[in-house]
Amino acid sequence: MAKQHITTTINGEETEYLCEPQETLLDVLRDQVGLTGTKEGCSSGDCGACSVMLDGRLVCSCLVLGVEAEGKTVETIEGMADGDELHPLQQKFLEEAALQCGFCTPGVLIAAKALLDINNDPTETEVRYWLAGNLCRCTGYDKIIRAVMDTAADMRGA
């Protein structure tokens, strides 16, 4: 099948790639662009490990085709830190040990940042509902929720 030429912006950099129509954005990010921070978990939209931002919208990149990124802006976990300076969420996850194996963490961080970008004072329930699409088999969620709440508090205080 003819590959399609796609031009998109990934983490602020204009990027071009060729992709088959049936390749997902996740396939493209990992296998062609080399951004393997975004993880493949279930490939059915259940686990959220592949969460990225597409034109400012939180999506599961396994449910988006690579060609859909044409002309759009993609943000992945690789673009979250500012150089060597971690995003406050990343820093707080480290400080509070809100991860164990780390496989779900990129998706959780992307989703949590999406929430804090629109609501910097979420209730615990709001955080839990927002992160419902991000499964973690290690932490039991409590530390993740606390880290997000604490980051929000820090960012409000800053």
Partner 1 sequence: MEHLPEMHLQHPATVEEAVKLHAAAPASRYLAGGSDLLVNIRRGIERPDSLVYLNGIAELHTITDGLEQISIGGAVTLRELAESQLLRKPFSAVAQAAGKVAGPSHREYGTLGGNLCLDTRCVFYNQSEWWRAANNYCLKYRGDICHVAPGGKKCFAAFSGDVAPALLLFDAEVELAGPDGRRRIALAALYRNDGMDHLTMTRGELLVAVHVPKIPAPVRTGYAKSRVRGSIDFPLAGVAVRLGLQDEKIADLRIGLTGVSPLPFLVRGLDKFVGRKPDDACLEELREVVRGQAKAMKTTLTPPHYRRRVAGALAQKLAESIF
What does the binding site for partner 1 look like in residue numbers (CB under 8 A)?
1, 4, 20-24, 27, 42-45, 48, 51, 57-60, 62-65, 67-68, 111, 114-115, 128-130, 132-133
Cα separations in angstroms, 7 against 56, 69, 78: 17, 8, 19
Which amino acid appears at position 24 of this protein? T
Nearer to partner 1, 7 or 94 (CB): 7
114 and 53 Cβ atoms separated by less than 8 Å: yes
Find the shortest distance in angstroms from Cβ 76 to partner 1.
14
144 and 98 Cβ atoms separated by less than 8 Å: yes
Find the shortest distance in angstroms from Cβ 67 to partner 1.
6
Nearer to partner 1, 57 or 137 (CB): 57
13-19, strands of its sheet edge to edge: 13-19, 4-10, 73-75, 51-54, 57-60
Nearer to partner 1, 7 or 97 (CB): 7
Find the shortest distance in angstroms from Cβ 92 to partner 1.
21
Which amino acid appears at position 132 of this protein? A
Nearer to partner 1, 64 or 147 (CB): 64
The pair of three-digit structure tokens given for residue 91, joined into one six-digit string: 């820093």
